[in-house]
Chains A and B, each alone.
Chain A
């Protein structure tokens, strides 16, 4: 099952990169007519050395080979009708085409960059047997997968909700905190540090630079200027776009993996198939979340956070330093988000729009639990995580996010304050 999930993810990756260059903003000029694409295996590893040939109507043929990032570019002499063929013999062992018909296709290139999408599947992986598992086993498998996914969502959603609770900001750039954390770890990892060492350094770095620093440089001055909440929301969108394309500029558009634990073989625990890294990360996530809850419940600043979340004016009047609480909230939120990003990077891969892709799921979790309610984020995240995985029993895997988004809209209709929220007028 896990493999099927990954497979869908691989195709998703393949296609989502397509927007990067070909998306509405690059008008075609005849000077650089190309056919291009990225070959990524379902588990996120770039597929290199695959030869793809385009033959024009006049018989001229041009070919391209996928590079170390899986990217292939076929420069064309002019626009026109082309037959594009993938040499299946150059595919690495174990990688096959999803669809036999993809090996050859004809398409019309009008000019500019034409992206083609080739679905790949991964066969012959050792260790995991996914065929012929019964419904009962699938339910158990999906339930546990859902818990693991829910933990990632919870790590991301806690920060989002804490910031909303204390400052009222609906932060559309929260997803980028996940991406930034993951890519910071990747930078340290590429520089030679083992990911086990790189990850904690990246989390601390993220907490103080992307969390505390961001609040200090951007959000605190905006609060001082009395910038409204809707204006701040739009500012956060601008920031998200800026950060996303900064990542593309420095790291490129192709997905990358950490040097360690990338292709860890799976293990079976009774009916449940997983990888050791997913279990360890899940345990660490539970620890981090538990620590956050205890901190909020017991420590002075944690109690102050809940007070500010409840009523900032009253909290301020009782002598709580609201700005200090907000700084701490940003540090913790960004640290947890970075952890979530690294978690995703280890179990899937790191890609420039990973944060954007999970942001709406985070919102779904937060709204389900109750926007601004501190424990709501965790409850909502677990429900959304399990719900997303379980729905794949009845709907195709590629549409699992659809279910979560639909659930969110439904919740807003019947109980807009969320599961744990207090009833108040939100309309």
Chain B
């Protein structure tokens, strides 16, 4: 077994494009769930909104990628308002069911034959989605990394993605230390107390949903640009739950929680997958086949989410006192 190769593959995935997509969704969810206490089970809808905005503007309407980023933010804001205005007055479990239902509703709409001309149906939108972005790639054409296995194109995405992610983290850091941050944390701890101080709780919750959704939409934009493909069935509810796992692993209501969670989650998941695949391919394990690795990884992830929630809900770096669970 080539441990060196396994290690580099794992590191490549822990910091790679897919990890970044989840990271953006997790930073957004941290504002909504971690700080404000909103049980948003429909985070994937915001990622889909970002990805589909790019897909539709660039491929269906043949317009600029930069315009599509603006459209993505507008779409995610509209989505947050549509989702938030009816549901944010409801109890947490109702909010959870409605948000997950809304995300499924959106997925069924974009994959339907009725809107195939715009959204591409079940096949989605595939093509040169991020050309204008990749044209800006400053790396030399024959560039290859010495150790990690990113292509020139992926490396450019990763550099820009991580810069943006750090920028958003800085933004969250400032946000939660502002008066606004104190109010939303107050809502999470005791909504009635905040109401009695004369704050319009509903508006604050809506703002948290809009900001978190906007950051998650960047995950979708990155997805479309990096993978050059937007497919409806990648936006299943499970995506949201993986983001929850990442956030809870790193520690909800911690500024660096999403980053820590994403890197550790992908390091463990990818590392386990690579080791297991390698064991199977080299004949050390013969009761499993290479296709089983995927299911086992998901099984472990589900188990991980359960155990994390039962035994260490504050995650690795979190603070148990600062946890939205069961504020009411």
Residues of A within 8 A of B (CB): 11, 15-16, 18-27, 29, 107-108, 110, 117, 170, 222, 225, 227-231, 233-235, 237-246, 248-249, 356, 360, 363-364, 367, 371, 396, 398-399, 401-402, 405-406, 408-409, 412-413, 416, 426-427
Contact = CB atoms under 8 A, between A and B. Distances in A.
Given A230-B39, A399-B109, A405-B105, 12 more contacts: A15-B111, A18-B233, A25-B18, A110-B227, A170-B96, A170-B97, A235-B306, A235-B310, A237-B305, A239-B302, A245-B299, A363-B101
Contacts of A29: 9
A249 B295 contact: yes
Interface in B246-273: 248, 269-270
A11 B234 CA distance: 16
A238 B302 contact: yes
B305 A238 contact: yes
Given A170-B96, A360-B101, A427-B90, A245 B295 contact: yes
A396 B122 CA distance: 15
B173 interface: no
Given A235-B306, A360-B104, A399-B114, A249 B97 contact: no
Given A21-B291, A228-B326, A243-B302, A235 B309 contact: yes
A22 B295 contact: no
A239 B301 CA distance: 10
A396 B112 contact: yes
B204 to A, nearest CB: 15
A402 B108 contact: yes
A412 B94 contact: yes
Interface string B222-244: 00000111010110111101101
B64 interface: no
A246 B111 CA distance: 27
A245 B234 contact: no
B90 A426 contact: yes
B269 A25 contact: yes
A69 to B, nearest CB: 12
The 9 closest A-B pairs by CB, nearest first: A228-B326, A241-B302, A242-B302, A238-B305, A238-B306, A245-B298, A427-B89, A249-B295, A248-B295
Contacts of B87: 409, 412
A416 B90 CA distance: 8
Contacts of A242: 299, 302-303, 306
A249 B290 CA distance: 11
A408 B101 contact: yes
Contacts of B295: 245-246, 248-249
A115 to B, nearest CB: 9
B21 interface: yes
B71 interface: no
A86 B227 CA distance: 26
29 contacts: A21-B291, A24-B21, A24-B239, A25-B298, A27-B16, A27-B18, A110-B227, A110-B229, A170-B93, A222-B310, A229-B326, A230-B39, A231-B310, A231-B325, A231-B326, A234-B305, A237-B305, A238-B304, A239-B302, A242-B299, A244-B302, A246-B299, A248-B295, A249-B296, A249-B299, A401-B104, A402-B108, A412-B86, A412-B94
B98 interface: yes
A20 B37 CA distance: 31
A402 B105 contact: yes
Contact of A412 (B90, B229, B238, B301): B90
A21 B239 contact: no
B234 A22 contact: yes
A360 B100 CA distance: 8
A265 B305 CA distance: 45
B318 to A, nearest CB: 13
A27 B9 CA distance: 10
B48 to A, nearest CB: 11
A412 B101 CA distance: 12
Nearest to A399: B112
A363 B100 CA distance: 11
B275 interface: no
A405 B102 contact: yes
Interface in B177-221: none
Nearest to A222: B310
Interface in B55-110: 86-87, 89-94, 96-98, 100-102, 104-105, 108-109
A416 B93 CA distance: 12
B294 interface: yes
Contact of B93 (A23, A229, A402): A229
A227 B325 CA distance: 10
Contacts of A19: 233-234, 236, 238
B79 to A, nearest CB: 14
Contacts of A406: 105
A29 B16 CA distance: 13
Contact of B238 (A108, A241, A396, A409): A241
Contacts of A228: 325-326
B36 interface: no
B238 to A, nearest CB: 7
B102 A231 contact: no
B92 A230 contact: yes
Given A27-B13, A405-B104, A426 B309 contact: no
A409 B305 contact: no
Of A24, A117, A413, which is in contact with the most chain B CB atoms at under 10 Å from its CB? A24
